[in-house]
Structure 1
Amino acid sequence: MAVIYPKFINLEAEKRERIINAALKEFAQKGYDKASTNEIIKEAGISKGSLFNYFNSKKELYLFLIDYMVEIVDKIYDEVDWNETDIFRRMKAIGLVKFKVYKKFPPVFIFLKALAHEEAAEVKPEINKLGKSLIAGGLERGYKNIDLTKFRDDIDVQKAINIINWAILGFAEQQRDAVDSFEDIGMEVLDEWDDYFDLMKRCFYKEEEQ
């Protein structure tokens, strides 16, 4: 994490998770400006004094949650087989890991969904910076060591990759906005994504590589 909160980090795991989940829920449901630290305290079953003993302000708590979310997202990339050099198989593998992580940490990704619509001036610059970082970092890692020789010789490979990027980001946004909770997402989403991959593969790959 960018900032260390030793008093909070040293709490027993169960209490720490209660506070994190209560805060994720409150900010996701009400947005930054309307979120109430009193509601977070009530939901987590702790005293107000103790919350502000761990975090100096509401903004500091919010920024901690962003750092926490980034750590969870990083777990996705830790589980990917980077020896796979086919771009579509690589993206499918990343999608499958994302699916598993979403299911394991649903409050984090409900918060991530809310971030996309957060407009509070106090935290908007940090959110914008995060969004650019997550997209750029994810794409950089996602395309590392990809075998570009599979692409057709008569197309601009970078433009093809741009189209794949737009499709992935657009599909993810569509699925994110279509559900109230990531717990509602089923394996059929991955099956639907396969259809798009098959279509793009026929467009961009040499015939023998399809």
Structure 2
Amino acid sequence: MYSNFHKLKEEKKKQILSSAMEEFRQYGFEKASTIEIAKNAKISKGALFNYFNTKRDLYVYLIDYSLQVIEGFYEKIDLTEQDLFKRIENVGLLKLYTQQKYPYVFDFLTSTREEGSPEVKEIIIEKTEYIYKQGISKIYQNIDYSKFREDIDIEKAVEVINWTMLGFSEKSIRQLGGFENIHKFGETFLQEWKAYGEMLKKCYYK
């Protein structure tokens, strides 16, 4: 179905996908402009529709492509690490590396969850719900919750830890563009996260 698109060089495919994801993220399915997508990808609108028959086809392709990236991300999670803080630390670092390699994927997928267009809403749910649930389940698989104090509501504690990590990772992603060396940035990320983690451990661990 997308044979013409798959024949393109990797750099050109990446350019088209990045342009499309950013346009849909900013404006949603209905208001996104295929003219702008083509313009920013440095191709003609005719060429865009030679690769994808319709705007909806392009949108669905982006979802499938993004989910493949996310599945790869989940597969790299180290399930042998049973400490919750270290697990979340590893997940956060993985997300940074994935964000650097695929800069528009996370934001695009987040935008699909808020998409209200009846033309794509059903297929978004159909394609993404299982992956999200599976991913959340995997992040917390094999965690040793016995480290928490007995008087702590573990479910609420995990929520607080997640909120902290989410805010921290979003801040880190915004800073990512200023670092040429992703591994050096990763070291900075780890140092800062460990400081947050130590504070939270004092609140929740025995």
Instruction: Give the alignment's TM-score, normalised by structure 2.
Output: 0.75
Matched, 1:144 2:141: yes
For residues 59-79 of structure 1, the C-alpha deviation after alignment (integer angstroms, 9 at most, x for no partner) is: 111111111112222332333
Counterpart-to-counterpart distance in 2, 1:54 and 1:125: 23
**Residue 24 (structure 2) aligns with:** 27
Q: 2:54 aligns with which of 43, 52, 57?
A: 57
What SS does structure 2 have at the residue aligned with 1:14? helix
Q: State the AA in 2 paired with 1:77.
A: Y
Counterpart-to-counterpart distance in 2, 1:111 and 1:99: 16
Counterpart-to-counterpart distance in 2, 1:55 and 1:143: 38
Distance 1:156 1:40, change over 3 A: closer
Q: Give the gaps of 5 or more residues in structure 1.
A: none
Counterpart-to-counterpart distance in 2, 1:7 and 1:15: 12
What SS does structure 2 have at the residue aligned with 1:28? helix
**Residue 69 (structure 1) aligns with:** 66
CA contact (8 A) 2:148 2:205 kept: yes
Counterpart-to-counterpart distance in 2, 1:162 and 1:126: 29
For residues 100-124 of structure 1, the C-alpha deviation after alignment (integer angstroms, 9 at most, x for no partner) is: 1112221323434544554433333
CA contact (8 A) 2:92 2:169 kept: no
After superposition, the CA RMSD in angstroms is: 3.3
Distance 1:137 1:77, change over 3 A: same
Q: 2:93 aligns with which of 84, 93, 96?
A: 96
Instruction: Give the alignment's TM-score, normalised by structure 1.
Output: 0.74
Q: Give the gaps of 5 or more residues in structure 2.
A: 180-184
**Residue 177 (structure 2) aligns with:** 183
Q: 1:38 aligns with which of 28, 35, 39?
A: 35
Deviation at 1:183, TM superposition (A): 3.1
**Relative to structure 2, which stretch is displaced further, 140-149 or 125-134?**
125-134
